[in-house]
Structure 1
Amino acid sequence: MARIGVEAALTDVEEALQAQGHEVVALQNEEDASGCDCCVVSGQQENMMGMADTTTDGAVISAQGLTADEVCQRVDQSLQSR
C-alpha cells in the first residue's frame, strides 16, 4: 500500500489508514513528508504569507471538518489519480 504522512494530532485518521493497510509516517517536520505518496494535515496551521516550500510530490489533504472515513476516501481518490 501507500506511504501516508499524518500530523500527530490526527490519531483517528492514522488508525483508519493503518487499518486499510497503508504505511503511516508521523509528520513532525518538513523532512518527514519526503517520500510520502500523500500527506494529511489538520488544517489548523494556515500559511498566512502565501509561501510554501514543497517537500513532497504527493497530494496534501486537509482533514479540517472531515471525519476519519472522509479523509480516507480523499486519500484513496488522490492515490487513484496518480
Structure 2
Amino acid sequence: MAKQHEEMPDEFRASKYDWASWMNGKVWELEHGEDFHTEPRIFRQQIGKRARNHGMKAEVHVKGNTVFCRFYEPDDTADEGE
C-alpha cells in the first residue's frame, strides 16, 4: 500500500552539506566557501530549520564568515548552561 511522507528520506536526498556528521552533538566550526556556500546568516537559518525538521534544537553563533553550531536533543539541557 502506498505511504505518504512529509519529506524525502535523507538517504535519497542529495545534500551539499555533511548534515549527518554535523548533527552528532559536537560543536562544529564551519567556514564559508569551504563547508557551506550561502551567506553565513542564511546558513544559520538553514541550521535551525534542519534541527526543527529532525526534532532537535541547535545552538548557532556567527563570527564573520565562520559559523559555530551544535545540534542537540530538546531534553539535553545539561550543556545549555541551565
Same fold per superposition (TM over 0.5): no
Higher Rg of the two aligned structures: 2
TM-score (norm 2): 0.28
Higher helix share: 1
